[in-house]
Chains A and B, each alone.
Chain A
Amino acid sequence: MIDRRNFLKLGAVGGGAVFMSGLFGGVHAAAEQEDFYFVQLSDSHWGYSGPANPDAQNTLRKAVATVNALDVKPDFIVFTGDLTHTTDDPAERRRRMAEFKTIVAGLDVQTIHFLAGEHDASLDKGAAFIENFGPTHYSFDHKGVHFIALDNVSDPGARIGDEQLAWLKADLAKQASDARIVVLTHRPLFDLAPKWDWATRDGEQAVALLMPYSNVTVFYGHIHQEHHQMTGHIAHHAAKSLIFPLPAPGSQATRTPLPYDAATPNKGLGFREVDAEVKEAAYQLTEFPVTKG
């Protein structure tokens, strides 16, 4: 059972009411303004093998089981990148993606929106990802919320790029200034820790395009830990990984994984629910470990 009182309130209170005010010329009917929640999974790095997670062959499967055991099924699932661990072998990359798809086929909810991470897409400009999961950037609408998936990884230099930024601008132009907008991406769009490559080289341009919109929230991965930061009125929320946790941003010389602890094998790993409410709050989060107990 979800305790909504404990959820982190992220969005503007009453945003739904504003959203229903007719700014869309009736396109979004009142019936579409419903509470819902989705699940964010991130950074499973399928194919990783190493001391940071000796149980790597099982962690993703455990997470699938935990998601399936949720009392209330989410409307959909998003996977914010690094589905697979990088490999320099294109055939092995595709094999890992095929195995990943087989595992997530076990999710009860099969409405899944995939994003690429640099481990999936940076070495072939997204070719293998597109073959297996479709476009690397896209948008969709769900119950009155406009979702935008941004690709900041197919360019090995971590650029969104002028073409995609133009697409983003055109996509946003169709939205009201108070529309409920959720951005999904892999890397942080702001300079969280550039010395660890925790940034998007032209992320500032994307944020500038989003700034005129009053109700924007960003969910991303990449940094393997829960993290929350504001840029102006835009909230950015990083998710835990499903492979190994990383240190706090910039807290040490290198971004080496936190040591594996056999006594607490899933420590620092997990996924989140994002609760989108029309009346009380736009979004609420609940962080979950891979396994209960």
Chain B
Amino acid sequence: MQISKRRFMMGVPLALGAVAGSVLLAGTAMAKAKERVIKIEARKFRYAPNLIELKKGEAVVLEFTAVDFTHGFSVPEMKVRADLLQGQVVRVKLQPDTAGQFAFLCDNFCGSGHEEMAGTIIVKG
């Protein structure tokens, strides 16, 4: 899938390897923007949900809770990644401006099913 990086989305992890302060800051930003919030649980070895549908141009916040490991969340084609600190809420802001399907994966090796821990973001035009 070829994507023009210049045209592609704005993706801003609001808490990268975060401490509580970053999470609070993320919460403040989210309140101002009023983005749609999508809650995602990360656990060995799946995201729930692992299929995320967005609209082109829609600003959303992915709100992760990693329950058993500091999983990763990486969308390489969007140049977005975050460490999902175990036991903390980590928010990742997305605003895609290109339609398509984009794979995401856990990029912190988390165990025997790590290689299957992945999902897809579908951006509809």
A208: CB under 8 A from chain B? Answer: no
Evaluate contact between A195 and B112: CB separation under 8 angstroms. no
Evaluate contact between A253 and B103: CB separation under 8 angstroms. yes
B125: CB under 8 A from chain A? Answer: no
A138, B68: Cα distance in complex, Å: 33
Evaluate contact between B111 and A86: CB separation under 8 angstroms. yes
Evaluate contact between A197 and B112: CB separation under 8 angstroms. no
A156: CB under 8 A from chain B? Answer: yes
Name the CB-closest residue of B to A196. B105
For the residues of A in contact with B, the DSSP-based class is loop
From known contacts A157-B72, A157-B108, infer whether A195 and B83 are also in contact, taking CB-CB under 8 Å: no
Contacts of B115 in A (CB 8 A): 197, 255
Evaluate contact between A123 and B109: CB separation under 8 angstroms. yes
Q: Which of A123, A157, A197 is most buried by chain B, counting CB atoms within 10 A of its CB?
A: A197
User: Contact flags (1/0) for B71-114 with A, using CB distance below 8 Å?
Assistant: 01010110000010000000000000000000101011111101
A167, B118: Cα distance in complex, Å: 34
User: Interface residues of A toward B: which range?
Assistant: 10 to 19
For the residues of B in contact with A, the DSSP-based class is mixed
Contact partner of B105 (CB less than 8 A), chosen from A86, A87, A156, A197, is: A197
- The total of chain B residues at the interface (CB under 8 A) is 17
Shortest Cβ gap from A185 to chain B (Å): 15
Q: Which residues of A from 121 to 141 have beta carbons under 8 Å from B?
A: 122-123
Evaluate contact between B112 and A87: CB separation under 8 angstroms. yes
Q: Which residues of A from 91 to 124 have beta carbons under 8 Å from B?
A: 118, 122-123
Shortest Cβ gap from B38 to chain A (Å): 20
A140, B86: Cα distance in complex, Å: 39
A123, B108: Cα distance in complex, Å: 10
Contacts of B77 in A (CB 8 A): 195
Evaluate contact between B105 and A118: CB separation under 8 angstroms. no
Evaluate contact between A156 and B83: CB separation under 8 angstroms. no
A41: CB under 8 A from chain B? Answer: no
Contacts of A254 in B (CB 8 A): 116, 118
From known contacts A195-B103, A254-B118, infer whether A156 and B108 are also in contact, taking CB-CB under 8 Å: yes
A201, B108: Cα distance in complex, Å: 10
A138, B58: Cα distance in complex, Å: 49
Kindly list 19 other residue pairs between chains A and B, CB separation below 8 angstroms, not including A88-B112, A197-B105: A86-B112, A87-B112, A118-B109, A153-B109, A156-B109, A156-B110, A157-B72, A157-B107, A157-B108, A158-B107, A158-B109, A191-B76, A194-B107, A195-B77, A196-B105, A197-B74, A253-B103, A254-B116, A254-B118
List chain B positions with a Cβ less than 8 A from chain A: 72, 74, 76-77, 83, 103, 105, 107-112, 114-116, 118
Return the 7 tightest CB-CB contacts between A and B, nearest first. Answer: A122-B109, A194-B76, A156-B109, A118-B109, A195-B76, A195-B103, A156-B108
